[in-house]
Chain A
């Protein structure tokens, strides 16, 4: 046999500071010198045997012939990167009502307390609960979204009891999550949540001023009531029963440090620096509420620096967006983040049972409906999961999210980690398959991958240890 090096397909990107990052089809990366890149591109390998060995181990090179072991290894690596959506829909979102006591200006869906007609019928709720079990997934997350689901605690309780009873014979591993402002939380609810291992996900946008500005209520004390709710939940459901998500508004952009510090003071160990999506009411008010990727990136980098400095002081705080990207780069076990799956996680791993009696492929999909775009409806609640996934809409979503067939993705260095987001595309361009490089989704993720590769390249030992810990897949709010 011959050990002569043969170059395997790879892609690369030039990053800031002259860094060249190359990615092989296994998802392994290597930082290349200019002359190494040109030798790889011209298939005339002259660098040291030691370097050749390193690049063999990362699937940039292999011996001319006879490599049955590494061929199989490469195949299994490629399959592992895309196995999340193989198991059937695992996240089932039920929207029992759109009612909410807040009137956030960027919120596209919520309706006031006096509103009628934006609540799910009991018949549809029962059908939704039963449909969930048609998924073959062994582990299921059932999440209640709104509006504020606790305004219809009766429906939430009914659904949890029904699903739990059915599960006595199904024996799935089920996790319940309620996304709520916690303003309506009572001790009685807490006792029920504790009994059924219900996890609470709330919203904290930052310190009191910012939060109350972002989330107006008639009594102007949204922050104080949420904080009180967190306290009650920790005391009566469990210390780790509550997590928080933040929405980055234009006002937030000015105070990343204060937001991060607020999460530390509240004792959370995760924070998700995520940008506002450009749909719905928010989109109509783009000029007033919107901001550019550039604006967001400055905010994100400052916030991330602050988070790292807290960690250096021994305070464990994990940034979820960074962890999602690091999971793609540094771990071979995919954490299953819905927006970066090919084919798309929308529908294939998430289904949303909406108050209006229809099933949508993702949370963003049902929000589009509120702005008049019903094109992502998969079918009425009660339709079998099999038929939902065979629907024309779902097939269109799948076909619009295939990395290997999408121009722009095919040659992208990050195509083992990323994928087009057809739901975002629909929101931005009213079609599921707009040219990827025009989408906010693509621009943002290219920037994130570029940024984190630069950070990995320059990281010291301590930071890299932390990055590897963050990269490990965890079941957390990031699937949402």
Chain B
């Protein structure tokens, strides 16, 4: 999430605010929400003071260069910082629900912690209340969101109530979903469109368990997928392309085609060079161009079984051109950059680009501008 420097006027607390333009205050104001008015002039500050005097205690003022009207923020006034938790103009929206996880994946971009972070649940509900324009898609992520149990359902219900048109995507390792009762609780009489984004890293237990560093995980995730299928839940399988996975990728795709043909789509995702992935570079720092044959074979296997798939986080110059139509611009806006080499590339507009932290980690291949155009 973005951290942005800001100045605050008056007492702000560590809670969720919506950023609002002064001119729109009269249409957006609601009693149960918190507002900060953006980049106030002296005149505006006076206006806000008057509104407060007249009893509108939920309005404050803020200035900062990278803050937009509609942002949902949490201020850290002691550091002159705000965390931007939600930005309307982003392509991808998600809520971070917990830092805890029951797996320790080799390439985890968000290494889990054990501390109690249950305040993230009430933050999430507050964010949902403060969102002004319902997003088309809202991701629920972590950590492992299903660890929240009943609270996850509460969050889903809040989205359903306040943003009934929003599609919800839950990013889960699926292990806890082996419990049929839990799946029943999470999916019973759902009205919103919910889909489940579940990683699968191998066709055999010992390889998957190694990748997620958790014995028994494969069996649990398979049981979880079957429980989701039983309740007709849409599933996206996610496969992160690191060395031990790329080695067996065609066989994994065959396994999916034979055993999990009910999944809606398979996402093949280049690794994010951050978190545990930095510590496990031997397994994670791959050049996708070296794996072209495996990628082609895997794509062919999925096609043969009529399983739709997409490639994510992989710049086009790392992929055989035959696979370009399957590549998606998937990197969240706030961590998405392009390299110098990308200037002058003819397909930059269609390319995922790079994670902002590739400089500290590695690039998914040697980046080079592509001259011909996409046919």
Which residues of A come within 8 Å of B, CB atoms? 1, 3, 26, 28, 49-50, 52-54, 56-58, 62-63, 66-70, 72-73, 76-77, 332-333, 461, 464-465, 468, 472
CB within 8 Å of A: which B204-231 residues = 204-207, 209, 215-216, 218-224, 226
What are 9 pairs between A and B in contact, CB < 8 Å? A53-B202, A53-B203, A53-B248, A53-B251, A57-B258, A69-B219, A69-B220, A69-B223, A76-B226
CA distance A77 to B223 in the complex (A): 14
Can you name 18 extra interface pairs (CB under 8 A) apart from A57-B252, A70-B219? A28-B258, A53-B206, A54-B203, A57-B251, A57-B259, A68-B223, A69-B178, A69-B218, A69-B219, A73-B222, A76-B226, A77-B258, A77-B259, A332-B259, A332-B261, A465-B300, A465-B303, A472-B306
CB within 8 Å of A: which B39-90 residues = none
CA distance A54 to B259 in the complex (A): 13
Contact, CB under 8 Å: A66 / B219: yes
CA distance A2 to B202 in the complex (A): 17
**In the A-B complex, the 10 residue pairs with the closest CB atoms:** A69-B222, A53-B204, A57-B203, A468-B304, A69-B219, A69-B223, A56-B204, A3-B206, A57-B255, A1-B215
CA distance A54 to B205 in the complex (A): 11
Q: Distance (Å) between the CB of A15 and the closest chain B CB?
A: 21
CA distance A26 to B203 in the complex (A): 15
Contact, CB under 8 Å: B226 / A73: yes
B15 touches A (CB below 8 Å): no
| Residues in B whose Cβ lies below 8 Å from that of A70 | 205, 219, 222
CA distance A428 to B122 in the complex (A): 75
| Residues in A whose Cβ lies below 8 Å from that of B255 | 57
CA distance A70 to B216 in the complex (A): 11
CA distance A108 to B220 in the complex (A): 58
B254 touches A (CB below 8 Å): yes
CA distance A37 to B303 in the complex (A): 31
Give which listed residue, A53, A76, A333, A464, contacts B207 with CB less than 8 A: A53
| Residues in A whose Cβ lies below 8 Å from that of B220 | 68-69
Q: Distance (Å) between the CB of A328 and the closest chain B CB?
A: 13
CA distance A249 to B259 in the complex (A): 41
Q: Distance (Å) between the CB of A219 and the closest chain B CB?
A: 48
Whether A468 touches B222, Cβ cut-off 8 Å, given contacts A77-B259, A333-B261, is no
B191 touches A (CB below 8 Å): no
Whether A72 touches B226, Cβ cut-off 8 Å, given contacts A333-B261, A461-B300, A468-B304, is yes
| Residues in A whose Cβ lies below 8 Å from that of B261 | 332-333
Give which listed residue, A3, A72, A468, contacts B205 with CB less than 8 A: A3
Contact, CB under 8 Å: B251 / A54: yes
CA distance A67 to B204 in the complex (A): 11
Q: Distance (Å) between the CB of A81 and the closest chain B CB?
A: 12
Q: Distance (Å) between the CB of A459 and the closest chain B CB?
A: 12
| Residues in B whose Cβ lies below 8 Å from that of A472 | 306
Contact, CB under 8 Å: A332 / B216: no
B305 touches A (CB below 8 Å): yes
Give which listed residue, B203, B221, B303, contacts A69 with CB less than 8 A: B221
Identify the closest chain A residue to B305 (Cβ). A468
CA distance A49 to B306 in the complex (A): 29
Identify the closest chain B residue to A49 (Cβ). B206
| Residues in B whose Cβ lies below 8 Å from that of A468 | 304-305
| Residues in A whose Cβ lies below 8 Å from that of B226 | 69, 72-73, 76
